[in-house]
Amino acid sequence: MQLFIVDAFTDQLFGGNQAGVVLLRAEQAFPEDSLMQNVAAELKHSETAFVKQMDTDTFQLRYFTPEGEVPLCGHATVSSFTVLREQGKIACGNLLAQTNAGRLNVSVEPDRIWLEMPQGEIVKTLSQEESDQVYAAYQIQAAEQPRGFQPCVVKAGLADVLLSVKSKEALDHAIQNREEVIRLSQELGLVGMHLFFCPENGEPTAYCRNFAPLFGIDEESATGTSNAALTYYLGKQNRIQLNQINSFVQGEAMGKRSVIQSRIDSDGSIWIGGSAVISICGELKL
């Protein structure tokens, strides 16, 4: 099996968010779950994607964190189709990704990958007590909690709490209580927490930080599913318009600045896009 390490949502080596990508041969079945889990744990990246070509234009992807399997991962999908393009296994055009979150459209361009995400859904608006607990888990005081952005559980493939703050400083200085966030994630049925700040001038659309300690990810430098959920939410808030290209900057607190692009098409579908670069390639010895 061919193994790649890819820096996603960046055009610079060692930036963005790292994902493992394992390409299976056409005749090869997916390995045992325990083996894929061990590979993901060995690589220690937030997600590793295992990719198998099913048809001319269809690829099946499975995603593992160091702690377990997840149904979808945006940056690992961008990484996977970048590898397929750069290895000459696909040409630019429209393809399909079969995931445990459903069958998704992928648009491959010479310098980026666009992924159509699952339909957005506001699962729940948190109660005041729940909101207070979530803000307290990041030591965010009441003065930094904006009105009109009550924390919500929003899903676009994966469920996250979207947590708004009033300033870039509040975002940068948020400190996670790991055990409390794990408890809240279990209680609310989440993958993690997505903190964001929207500048008044809209440049970028938002600065973000993402935390998923329940799945072994204390902080992630680029999160496609969470920014798809944020795109859906901001669209409902009339903060972004149909067909415009939005940009979300993430990973600055980790020294791995990432830029995730998104758009909402006229039919309401949400797309996440970005560039990626391969940093390491090799053979998995099994």
pLDDT at residue 148, rounded to an integer: 81
Which residues 6+ apart lie within 8 Å of 63 measured at CB? 47, 48, 49, 50, 69, 70, 71, 72, 73, 76, 99, 100
Mean pLDDT value of segment 229-236: 96
Instruction: Determine the Cα–Cα distance for residues 15 and 91; give it in Å rounded to an integer.
Output: 25
- Give which of 277, 224, 215, 179 is closest to 40, Cα–Cα: 215
pLDDT at residue 67, rounded to an integer: 85
Q: Who wins on pLDDT, 61 or 65?
A: 61
| Mean pLDDT (the chain, rounded) | 94
Q: What is the pTM of this model?
A: 0.87
Cβ-contact 235, 266 below 8 angstroms: no
Mean pLDDT value of segment 9-20: 91
pLDDT at residue 110, rounded to an integer: 95
pLDDT at residue 91, rounded to an integer: 95
pLDDT at residue 66, rounded to an integer: 87
Q: What domains, with CATH codes, occur in the chain?
A: 2-117+274-283 (3.10.310.10), 121-268 (3.10.310.10)
pLDDT surpasses 80 at 286? no
Least confident of 64-68, 126-130, 209-213, 260-264: 64-68
Residue 15's pLDDT band (boundaries 50, 70, 90)? Answer: confident
pLDDT surpasses 90 at 83? yes
pLDDT at residue 196, rounded to an integer: 97
